[in-house]
Amino acid sequence: MTRSLHFEAAWLAPGRYARDVRVSIDDTGIITAIEEGADPGAAAGPEVNQKLAGFAIPGAVNAHSHAFHRLLRGRTHGDGGTFWTWREVMYRVAGQLDPENYYRAARAIYAEMVTAGYTAVGEFHYVHYAPGGTPYAEPHAMERALAQAACDAGIRLVLLDTCYLTGAIGEELGAEQQRFGDGTIDGYLQRHTALAETLAADFPAHVTGGVTLGAAIHSVRAVPAAALPAFTALDGPLHVHLSEQPAENDACRMAYGKTPTQLLADAGVVTDRLSAVHATHLTDADIELLGQAASTIVMCPTTEADLADGIGPARALADAGAVISLGSDQHVTLDPLLELRGLEAGERLGSGQRGRFSPAELLAALTSGGSRSLHLGDSNAAATTASGAGLATGQPADIAVIAADTPRTYGSAGEQIMLAGTAADVTHVFSAGRLVAEHGVHASLGPVGELYREAYRAFDFGD
């Protein structure tokens, strides 16, 4: 039997605010009808009708995650340092991961995402082997752990299988990086092909969940220029860390005589299939290359602020033709509304002007931009602009509801509620029409704090 959800207000395609909206959902989790001005007291036909207060938006898409980095939250902020010193702490945590404890940690992290309003995540995954680079007895054990964690949490997972071959340009992997690497580009491609077969067999993707596979170039530091053209032959989304730090750009210019963006473009990977993560320190020519290719840019504002990366040229990239999306990266916080506001805050701080991105554009970055980045829907750039985001028929019923009557949100005008609220104001989250979180508690896994308490027992932080 079909069912319907009735919302006080909702954000509908093509990018507009509507009141008294009934969304009908079939038994596969697809939205079959949307009615505005609907009577909240009765279902439209033979449906089970659930009435919900608040403002409904498409579920947030987290286009860039490193799940285990969440274990560093609240532990790397006391002594200053830089991105590079933070990275050393990250390596120490990565060295303790195994398939069992990573499953438990990722399950908690993905459950926290769900309660915050995320319904899909792109996991930029590079911890492929046991410490020292030894393969696990069960092939793809770490990848399977992440896939199972996502399925248990009820979040759509796009596993971005990451290539990591060198410790820096022209240098071998360090001891702490051995478990990330496949030795050669051929080694990566062979493992990637086998992984695709495993995931397709054991975690089939369908509208109610599942796992799909993409590829990632860790960075120009970690993948030599000669290996980059191989990624043009792979299917699905392709992601890369791009120009997060000035030192990365300097090293690339010294080794290759060009910027990382130009190096990628010369290899043929700067296309509308590419998602450039961070894209913080770009030249005007870099911006033009990414814009002309209609590449997606994954901004991670809370991480970029936490690591003092800098403020990326988001408005300039969007104006040049790139599509903006959002990720949480190291999960210094897991709050899609804070990421959304961080994007606009960076633009305000850098330009001295307010409203550099409209509320509609911000919602598009949070939802349809991320879907485009992860190939979860229409990958056409024209369909993921500010005018293309919103609930629509034919889509999976992935929905997050923001309360309009909390101390933070009360009195907000229309869609500007997202510029006032936080994840604490997300009351209900649905994945393919199935309730997966309610008032901060995961529907099947329970309180997220208990999941973290269990996960953290497996790690030694030295204190």
Rg (the chain; Cα; Å): 21
Q: Quickly count: other Cβ atoms within 10 Å of residue 138's Cβ.
A: 11
**Could you tell me if 57 and 119 are in contact, meaning their C-beta atoms sit under 8 angstroms apart?**
no
C-alpha dihedral sign at 330, 386, 157, 208: positive
CA-CA distance, 336 to 407, in Å (whole number)?
A: 19
Per this entry, what is the length of the chain?
A: 463
- Tracing tokens 């329970």 back to the chain, one arrives at 446
Say which of 161, 309, 329, 425 is annotated catalytic: 329
Q: Are strands 296-299 and 323-326 parallel, antiparallel or unpaired?
A: parallel
**CA distances for 322 relative to 185, 243, 244, 370, 442, angstroms:** 28, 16, 17, 13, 35
- Tracing tokens 């602009």 back to the chain, one arrives at 385
Q: Annotated catalytic, 39? A: no
Say which of 6, 140, 278, 428 is annotated catalytic: 278
Three-state DSSP class for residue 387: helix
**Could you tell me if 103 and 111 are in contact, meaning their C-beta atoms sit under 8 angstroms apart?**
no
Q: Annotated catalytic, 125? A: no
C-alpha dihedral sign at 261, 266, 269, 273: positive
Sort 250 into a burial class: Cβ within 10 Å, 0-12 / 13-18 / 19+.
Answer: exposed
CA-CA distance, 233 to 44, in Å (whole number)?
A: 48
Catalytic residue numbers?
278, 329
